[in-house]
Amino acid sequence: MSRGLRGSLVAVGLVAALTTTGCVGSAPSEAGASGDTIKVGVLHSLSGTMAISEVTVRDAELLAIEEINAKGGVLGKKLEPVVEDGASDWPTFAEKAQKLISQDKVATVFGGWTSASRKAMLPVFERNKALLWYPVQYEGLESSPYIFYTGATTNQQIVPGLDYLKEQGKKSVFLVGSDYVFPRTANKIIKAYAAANGMEIVGEEYTPLGHTEYSTVVNKLQQAKPDAVFNTLNGDSNVAFFKSLRGAGITAETMPTVSVSVAEEEVAGIGPDNIAGHLVAWNYYQTTTGATNDAFVAAFKATYGANKVTSDPMEAGYNAVKLWAAAAEKAGTVEVEPVKAAAKGIALDLPEGTVTIDGENQHVFKTARIGLVQPDGQIKEVWSSGAPIKPDPYLKGYDWAAGLS
Amino acid sequence: MAVLNQLFIGASMGAVLLLIALGLTFTFGQMGVINMAHGEFLLVGAYTAYLLQNVVLALPVAFAVAGALGLVLERLLIRRFYGRPLDTLLLTFGVSLILQQLARDIFGAPNVGVTAPAWLTGGIGGFPYSRIFILVLALACVAAISLYLTRMKQGRRMRAVMQNRQLAAVSGVATERVDQLTFLIGSGLAGVAGVALTLIGPVGPSLGTYYIVDAFLIVVAGGLGQLRGAVIAAFVLGVLNSFVEFWTDASLAKVVVFAVIVAFLQLRPQGLFVLRSRALT
Amino acid sequence: MTHSKSFVGTTTSFFLLAGLLLLAAPALLPAFRLELLAKWLCYAIVAVGIHLAWGRGGMLTLGQGVFFGLGGYAMGMHLKLTDAGPGQLPDFMVWSGVETLPALWAPFRNPAFALAMVVVLPTVVAILLGTLVFRQRVRGAYFAVLSQALAAAFVILLVGQQGLTGGTNGLTNVQFFFGLDLYDPAQKRIVYYLVVGALGLVFLAAWQLSRSRLGRLLVAIRDGEDRVRFLGYDPAVVKTVVYAVSAATAGIAGALFVPVVGILGPADLGVVPSLEMLVAVAIGGRFSLGGAIGGAVLYNYASTGLSETFPSGWTYLQGAMFIAVMLWAPRGLAGLFSSGWSWIGGFRERRFPGSGGLSSTPASLPEPKAASASAPAQATSSTTSSASEPAPASGPAPSSARGEVPA
Amino acid sequence: MSGQLEVRGLRVVFDGFQAITDLDFTVQPGELRFLIGPNGAGKTTLIDVVTGRTKPASGSVRFNGTELVGRREHAIVRLGVGRTFQTSVVFEELSVLENLDLAASFRRGLPALLRARRGVSGVVAAVLDTTGLNALADRPAGVLSHGQRQWLEIGMLLVQRPSLLLLDEPVAGMSRGERERTGHLLQAVAKDHTVVVIEHDMEFLRRFASQVTVLHEGRLLCEGTVGEVQADPRVQEVYLGRSSSKKEPVV
């Protein structure tokens, strides 16, 4: 117990010293809003399994910050993004959110992708009375006073998707999803909708996140022979799913799928050949018409490369920054409560069209769009709700959803 | 029909498992290197296929690229760790992190698409060509390896070293060369498997992490360094997994497979096949 | 016991110093940093268990996250129930459409039951797996792979039972801990002291275990399991006991993690987090108790620090760190420091490699050596001699270990 | 005195190779029996079977009338059967004293094992004396010389007070003086234990053995005193004849 232990004691001592000094050394600096710049937090997974989706959202948010800075910033001050890595780990999200708030003193945070990361961060923002802008479509049933939701809630994406299927005369639907909260909640909603609208759910399959073997699920699809498949698979699993689907000879003509987590980025990874002809439900596509979107797409390609695509979550992240900046300008400060108050009713012309913040629940009005995947990897709009739909995270406006929340 | 389909699916899952585990039977099974970076060698193969956009051409190229990378790894790091298998685990975990992040920085975080050749799309009687291709590829690899190990001089040396290193060394076998070759082949096979994976799954920086645990389980169930064992374990577990999944769901199937392996190791603690050793440990 | 009185003095004063620093930390650190420190100390508690199982017992447990999770969920379930209030369901059950409290949850309302389960659940699972595995002499790499697969299977189970476990989200937003409001920094400080106290107790228990005959026996089993069998001991029993102790330790850490962090989900328990718990210990020095604890704190400190400084590139540094430690400090930083120490104290005799005395740290060999000078040549082994067991070396020189890996 | 060993109809097969064939072998209590034979004769395999390390294909091994086949190693040790290995196996990281103490504590229960060792027990102290390792008691076993290791191992056996000792080449690699001391040690031990020794060294055999059993290719070749065995033509054939193509050192 001599040398080894003694050495380890030195180690302990050193570590303790290091920890303490390190922590003290990097302890709170000056507040984010003081000086010439305003600090804003950007918190996404840059490593781990979720990096695949979140890195580009970060890029879009940074692009929006750059654009705002190019036009003189907010309240005459430049925005200074503080980028943190959530590392695909939910407590890390909470930890980094806390760090951004209490150490960097950021004015607001843009971040998160998975529901789990949002649920992890929610108490941190509520406790600190700080602001989070969450840019991804999600399962609804939430309305935190300290979160702004710039992605779709269920009545802006899933319900329109179902409306579309009903319109197309699809009677039987098979549900395929990754095993986590969004697909499970979405499928609950779908089942309630189906029961009220004379549709039959002929199967429901969940696979672990990151699952890459879909032969069996596809075999079950072949046995059930549904009119359509509602796909809530997440991320990488989609690639394996569509490759299996095509391998088994299932085409969009015989059995179309509606996907709610497959955007332009994912299409490239799946291989356009494998998914062309299938449907997706979002609020924005790279092909969405309008000068604002043309400018956004052009700016994005100019900044990150001509081969890059834009997608709904990226656009929602971009929107979040723009909406916050507008609210801060309107409030004349970056303080949380005035910004929240000013945000209500703000309407901006953004790539997906006019986006208005709903003061009631801090979600935004969004136009639902059903798209058809093209062989070139782009998505063509085949149906739209026409006007932006009022967000209804608890589906209070739908009778059939009465028992859900 | 559904059952027949499922049987085929099981076999094809077995083929995938076999392919990803083959390389590991060399590096882990024969050399005792717990190579956590094995998944990233799959990744190298997959990105090779992406760069070439030609699966058939990619097979030999991926073998060469992944093999070369394996050789570099062996020369630079792993050779200092023989006889310390548990340390190789942490070492290669570090390597795996670095390779993953490299892939992320070079090719971007999102998945990339690999276009399968026209003759591999579609299928016959519900059996996808891509799956048949993988099945054939897996069997071809096994055949090639066993021919190599039994018929070729280098292969026989490899077996000799594996069975008794010291005796092989004093019999004039350059064991160091054999080690390099073993690692090269093991990594190269992972590269080949990576190419095959592009036909059925995602190609992104996390690819390796999806397969690594399964690969280790196959090698353990089959018996360390046992080609026969790996083949049988892969197909049995593939079929088992596919049927359990068919009757229940994918999550449960994974848990059941794990339980079966633990139970099986109760009967045969050393896996299906055992290489006798006289060492007292 | 070869250490001198003055050395005991040094030892004690060092630990006292470290303890004092930990106790003084709340005064020195802002609340946010203190929370982080508390989280690292939870991992330090896990590290103590890993040191026992791996450093002392040679069991490379890649699935410590499972036990961490079992303890954590036992605690988390109780806290979620108290947060929800009597007769109410935890928030995630409401989202998942669960209408009545599952029978599995009901007993966790009772704090005594929940606290008992924190230790009992991991212990029982470890005893079950240990009995199955060690009795059949599955060890080394086999055991490592199996324990890793256990972590993978556990996560899949957790994720698949959303209504029961909160699925991928896990248990979030824990606000009260036995009456303490965790949103209040002053009350949260008490939780920090609890963690420090638990670490102290676990440390002392591990220390005593290492000093005891059982500790010696454990080292003996690590270095020559078969030989121990012929001394009349059943290594399977000893290993199972120590594995269970290390599991219980991880369970306690997991239980404390919940009030400290406020969240517990499958993402903290899977294959990679379990590996990281192990890697931290390897970096600190698995053969040394202090090294293991220091490693856990240092690793998590570095991982927080590096990811703050280099948010997009810290994975490289992390990877490079593992490689560097394995290459140049296979006994971890503790080993490095101890060599440095003896180099400074030049009067100390340059010891023969492998003669680390009573030290838990083999002086030069990174992997514990086989106890024998060489294997009995005529014995046909009926045991699982697996690849990851240290190869029998024909002498103390590290080079001779090479190549005797039984395939 | 107890310690009777009876082996009947023993057959051991490794992957189709018959390592031991129909072996009958008896050692009476208090005997000091030497076991010799060329490489591959099955000597160590026999000890392995007795101590539970190898499972026989058929046959029985009775110790004081108790069947040993099918029991696990540590259970057999607890019945009073101890062994050493061909090359000594001691725990290098533990001190000599701890090695002995560990061996001596094998009947303690788990709670007792959880306490640290205090002092040196009488039996350990006595064995430290007998083996002459007193001066090295606090040194790690890793620094011992070859001969010292062998003694330590025998010492670890003695503190366990087995009634049957099986020693696998205890003097291999020892110097002349060391052999001499070991031989006397064995004779002393044999006064109140049954001892079976595998040994090749003929000089050692002549000096210390009373009864010798010769094994060859897994079968019993002959039994008797040293003189009888040496005179047996079959033994000479085995060691010197055609079948002894292996370079077996016969001294």
Percent of chain B clearing pLDDT 90 (strictly above): 43
Please, which pLDDT band fits residue D96 given cuts at 50, 70 and 90? very high
**Residue C356 with chain D: CB contacts under 8 Å:** 93, 140
D89 touches B: beta carbon within 8 Å: yes
Higher pLDDT, D172 or A198: A198
Please give the pLDDT value at position C383: 34
ipTM over cut 0.90: no
∠ Cα D196 C379 D209 (to 5°): 20
Q: How far apart are CA C401 and CA C406, in angstroms?
A: 12
Nearest CB to A119; choose among C11, C172, C315: C172
Q: Give every residue of chain C whose pLDDT is below 70, as ranges.
A: 1-11, 311-312, 341-407
> Do residue B34 and residue C141 have CB atoms under 8 angstroms apart?
yes
Question: Which of B270, B273, B274, B280 to mutate to probe the D interface, most D CBs <10 Å?
Answer: B280
Percent of chain B clearing pLDDT 70 (strictly above): 96
Q: Do chains D and A touch (3 or more CB pairs under 8 A)?
A: no
Residue boundaries of the structural domains of chain D: 5-90+161-244
Q: Is the pLDDT of residue A15 over 80?
A: no
pLDDT mean across residues, chain A:
89
Contact residues for B88 (Cβ-Cβ < 8 A; gap 6+): B32, B33, B34, B35, B78, B81
Give the tens place of pLDDT for each residue, B10-32. 999 999 999 999 999 888 877 77
**Residue C273 with chain B: CB contacts under 8 Å:** none
- Nearest chain D Cα distance for residue B8, angstroms: 36
Nearest CB to C318; choose among B34, B81, B97: B97
Chain A contact partners (≥3 CB pairs within 8 A): B, C
Please, which pLDDT band fits residue D241 given cuts at 50, 70 and 90? low
> Do residue C377 and residue D86 have CB atoms under 8 angstroms apart?
yes
Give the tens place of pLDDT for each residue, D21-80. 999 999 998 888 999 888 888 898 999 999 998 899 999 999 999 999 999 999 999 999
Domains and CATH numbers, chain A: 37-152+290-356 (3.40.50.2300), 154-283+368-401 (3.40.50.2300)
Residues in chain B: 281
Nearest CB to C385; choose among B31, B83, B281: B281
**Residue C211 with chain D: CB contacts under 8 Å:** 116
Please give the pLDDT value at position C344: 62
Q: How far apart are CA A274 and CA A385, in angstroms?
A: 27
Give the tens place of pLDDT for each residue, B137-190. 999 999 999 998 888 888 888 877 777 777 777 777 888 888 899 899 999 999
Nearest CB to A211; choose among B101, B121, B250: B250
How confident is the model over D92-119, as a mean pLDDT?
89
Strands A347-350, D81-83: pairing is unpaired
Q: Do chains B and C touch (3 or more CB pairs under 8 A)?
A: yes
Burial of B104 (0-12, 13-18, 19+ CB in 10 A): buried
Q: How far apart are CA D169 and CA A192, in angstroms?
A: 80
> Do residue D89 and residue C227 have CB atoms under 8 angstroms apart?
yes
Q: Are D39 and D246 in contact (CB under 8 A)?
A: yes
| First-last CA distance in chain D | 34
- Nearest chain D Cα distance for residue C217, angstroms: 7
Please give the pLDDT value at position C346: 52
**Residue C339 with chain A: CB contacts under 8 Å:** 7
Please give the pLDDT value at position C407: 30
**Residue D14 with chain B: CB contacts under 8 Å:** 276
Please give the pLDDT value at position C390: 36
Nearest CB to A271; choose among B9, B110, B115: B115
Q: How far apart are CA A178 and CA A236, in angstroms?
A: 10
Contact residues for A270 (Cβ-Cβ < 8 A; gap 6+): A238, A239, A242, A243, A262, B111, B113
Please give the pLDDT value at position D87: 74
Q: How far apart are CA C69 and CA C156, in angstroms?
A: 13
* Rg of the Cα atoms in chain A: 23
Please give the pLDDT value at position A108: 97
Pick among 3.40.50.740, 3.40.50.1100, 3.30.1330.20, 3.40.50.300: CATH of D5-90+161-244: 3.40.50.300
Q: Which pair of structure tokens corresponds to residue D206?
A: 């002549």
Give the tens place of pLDDT for each residue, D114-129. 888 888 888 899 989 8
pLDDT mean across residues, chain C:
80
Q: Are C357 and D140 in contact (CB under 8 A)?
A: yes
Q: How far apart are CA D112 and CA C226, in angstroms?
A: 22
Please give the pLDDT value at position A390: 96
Q: Is the pLDDT of residue D231 over 60?
A: yes
Give the H/E segment covering residue B215: helix B207-222
Please, which pLDDT band fits residue A200 given cuts at 50, 70 and 90? very high
Give the tens place of pLDDT for each residue, C57-95. 999 899 999 999 999 999 999 999 999 988 889 988 887
Q: Is the pLDDT of residue B249 over 50?
A: yes
Nearest CB to B83; choose among C313, C384, C391: C391
Please give the pLDDT value at position A34: 58
Q: How far apart are CA A45 and CA A321, in angstroms?
A: 18
- Nearest chain B Cα distance for residue D186, angstroms: 25
Beta bridge partners of A39: A80
Q: How many Cβ atoms are within 10 Å of D63's Cβ, its own excluded?
A: 23
**Using a CB cutoff of 8 Å and minimum separation of 24, what contacts does A156-159 make?**
A156/A283, A156/A366, A156/A368, A156/A389, A156/A391, A157/A260, A157/A281, A157/A282, A157/A283, A157/A368, A158/A186, A158/A189, A158/A190, A158/A260, A158/A281, A159/A189, A159/A193, A159/A368, A159/A395, A159/A398
Give the tens place of pLDDT for each residue, A19-78. 444 443 343 333 445 578 999 999 998 877 787 789 899 999 999 999 999 999 999 999
Q: Do chains C and A touch (3 or more CB pairs under 8 A)?
A: yes
Q: Is the pLDDT of residue B124 over 90?
A: no
> Do residue C375 and residue B279 have CB atoms under 8 angstroms apart?
yes
Range with the poorest average pLDDT among A357-371, B229-243, C251-265, D165-179: D165-179
Contact residues for B75 (Cβ-Cβ < 8 A; gap 6+): B180
Instruction: Name the DSSP class of D132.
Output: T
Q: Is the pLDDT of residue D243 over 80?
A: no
> Do residue B220 and residue C146 have CB atoms under 8 angstroms apart?
yes
B84 touches C: beta carbon within 8 Å: yes
Q: How far apart are CA A385 and CA C83, in angstroms?
A: 41
Q: How far apart are CA B164 and CA B76, in angstroms?
A: 25
Give the tens place of pLDDT for each residue, C335-355. 888 777 666 655 444 443 333
Phi, psi at A41, each rounded to 5°: -90, 140
∠ Cα C335 C341 C343 (to 5°): 105
Give the tens place of pLDDT for each residue, B190-210. 999 999 999 988 898 888 988
Q: Is the pLDDT of residue A100 over 70?
A: yes
